[in-house]
Chains A and B, each alone.
Chain A
Amino acid sequence: MTEQAWHLLPGIHPETSKFPARTTLDNEGIIVFRTQQGFRGVQRTCPHMQSTLMAAELIANDTMLRCPMHIFTFKLSDGKGVNCPGFRLRVYEIKQEENALYGRSIG
């Protein structure tokens, strides 16, 4: 497993942005959620039918994300489908340094 590089996430601010917030990581559009455990990034659309995840709901103490369209639910730790085996959400590690957010792919 190679260590991925951290990228500065443009256009969002940990204190002033409204989350979830759209940004890009290494030219890929992602959405950053603020959870009880810190920030977490995910791909912008549900891998099921490509609905936007901006309206997705954080559940199970913010450890899972649920797409409102067909309640497909994914673990934020690794993106694996909970009730939709075979589906996987791309998730991103996000860290805050001073007044900026940085993200990197997992794995």
Chain B
Amino acid sequence: MSQRSILKGAHVIDPLQGIDRITDVVINDGKIETVGPTKDDATTPVMDFSGHYLSPGWVDLHVHTYGTLGFADPDSLGVYQGVTTFVEAGGPGIGTIDEFLAVMTGLETSLYAGPFIRPMGLLGLNYIEGDVRSLGEVPITRWVDFAKQNRDMLRYLKCNAIGDYGPGTLQITKGLANILHLPLYMHIGEFQMQNPEHLLAYEAFKIAEKGDMITHLYHGNLGKVVDDEGKVFPVVWEAQKRGVLFDLGFGGYNFSWDVAEKSWAQGLVPETISSDLQQFNVVRPVKSLANVLSVMMRLGMTLQQVIERVTCNPAKALFLSDRAGSLKPGMPADITVFRVDSGEFELSDCYQKSRTAEKQVVPVVTFKNGRRIDVDLERAQDESNWFLQIAEDHIPAAAGRFTGRELSFLRALASGLDKTEWELGSGERLDIEKAIELQEVFHRVRHEQAMPLRDALFAVYDCFMDKRFTMQMGLFLFRLERPFALARLREIAGDAGIQSHAGSAQVIA
């Protein structure tokens, strides 16, 4: 990594430093050395990026790498799309963030967390969210202790300003955010068919303070930023005047051309552009952060404006300016090289409306700490990356490689789970208490079996999935049908009751 390289000939856009011209960038030992005309020498390798743009590595402050909305291959949304830093928006809560930390290691993309106020984290699975209503569900001491030890990982605290619960959730989250010195990050826009009497979106704009963020600015659901005549609500402007930051958060339900165009015409513009990529929206309409940049350019932003909103602006909002968002000498050599193609491109919103654009942003090469990674947009689109299937008709191959210790843990887990009943059922309400109970069984058994958390999580995932999707164990077990889950664990690991006969790896050999 001690190699020095010259990236030559690209049009460099670094909004923080006011750079917007064709010049060279020198990287050395994983860091930015200089930006400016550089003479070739005989020993330094040169990469010619003539005809391309080059910016600080993009920062996507709202993705779902983990949880029920997550992906098998989180880097597919990161360095393979030109994104060098991303934030998991709400996947874990304080009750599951240990699981999150245990599995989300070894990524090439820098990952940070914006945990959710609910201890379990985001439920996803299309259940109604926003049900933290009492302080009893917010273990403040645990949060404070966790934040002390993992300060660097935490970048904001997330809650959803939706549902019919009144503003209690928002106030509680704001209070905890103050205690933890974190920005509050609030989702606005009701889900699906919900129709609460009192919309919390407007409470979010009242509660947010300077530095807090509100995401899904241009959503087209209940709780929009514009009224029926298309006029931006005063409460939105007032929040902006106080220094509240607005984030795009495109997502699968959260961007409407109609709302965006009306807001844009009145000067209501997000400070940060994020994708909200999930397994349910990566095929369409989000696709990639680059696609969202193209959408914002079609709306009217200049290239410089969109780059600012995925580099220095999110870095500042996340307090990451010391390591992301610019090409200042000494910064990590996190760089995105991209093209802006001309042609006719159809850009869809989340409501089956599209606009034809003349420009399209296409990332080409990413540098992460100076290491070159060629962009591969297909990687995120690969079905095995987003289609979470339980292997119902076969045992995943990874289960054939379990050690005796893992088999013993899985046997004990089957035995522990056998003592509880659960049923996913259908409808909008998740039996969260039951999911927590299953989570507790898992953790109790792994403690008893002295299984490291990561190994225990992977052992369970590998019993049921060919490709690992990492998520809260309570929710993972809860989504399995109980008879199937118990039968599968026993098929792989044997039955605790007949341990002497079925307790060896030969069962699955």
22 contacts between A and B (CB under 8 A): A48-B126, A49-B192, A70-B252, A70-B281, A71-B279, A71-B283, A71-B386, A82-B389, A82-B390, A83-B279, A83-B280, A83-B387, A83-B388, A85-B479, A86-B125, A86-B127, A86-B424, A86-B425, A86-B426, A87-B126, A87-B426, A88-B426
B126 A84 Cβ-Cβ under 8 A: yes
0/1 string, B419-453, CB within 8 A of A gives 1? 00000111100100000000000000000000000
| Interface membership of B262, Cβ < 8 A | no
A85 B281 Cβ-Cβ under 8 A: no
| Interface membership of A24, Cβ < 8 A | no
Question: Is the contact region of chain A dominated by helix, strand, or loop, or is it mixed?
Answer: loop
CB B474 to nearest CB in A, in angstroms, measures 13
Determine the chain A residues whose CB is within 8 A of the CB of B283 once the complex forms: 71
- CA A84 – CA B192 in complex, angstroms? 15
- CA A71 – CA B424 in complex, angstroms? 20
Determine the chain B residues whose CB is within 8 A of the CB of A88 once the complex forms: 426
Nearest residue in A to B280 (C-beta to C-beta)?
Answer: A70
CB A52 to nearest CB in B, in angstroms, measures 11
Nearest residue in A to B480 (C-beta to C-beta)?
Answer: A85
A85 B280 Cβ-Cβ under 8 A: no
B192 A73 Cβ-Cβ under 8 A: no
Interface residues on A, range: 10 to 19
| Interface membership of A72, Cβ < 8 A | yes
- CA A68 – CA B283 in complex, angstroms? 9
Number of residues of chain B lying within 8 A (CB) of chain A: 22
Nearest residue in A to B386 (C-beta to C-beta)?
Answer: A71
Q: Known contacts A83-B387, A87-B426; decide if A71 and B280 are in contact (CB<8 Å).
A: yes
- CA A47 – CA B193 in complex, angstroms? 11
Nearest residue in B to A75 (C-beta to C-beta)?
Answer: B392
The 8 A-B pairs with the shortest beta carbon distances in the complex, nearest first, are A85-B479, A70-B280, A83-B388, A86-B426, A85-B424, A70-B252, A86-B424, A71-B283
List residues of B whose CB falls within 8 A of some A CB.
125-127, 192-193, 252, 279-281, 283-284, 386-390, 424-427, 430, 479
0/1 string, A59-97, CB within 8 A of B gives 1? 000000000101111000000001111111000000000
- CA A48 – CA B426 in complex, angstroms? 12
For window 14-72 of A, CB contacts with B under 8 Å fall at 48-49, 68, 70-72
Q: Known contacts A71-B283, A72-B280; decide if A85 and B125 are in contact (CB<8 Å).
A: yes
Determine the chain B residues whose CB is within 8 A of the CB of A49 once the complex forms: 192-193
- CA A71 – CA B71 in complex, angstroms? 14
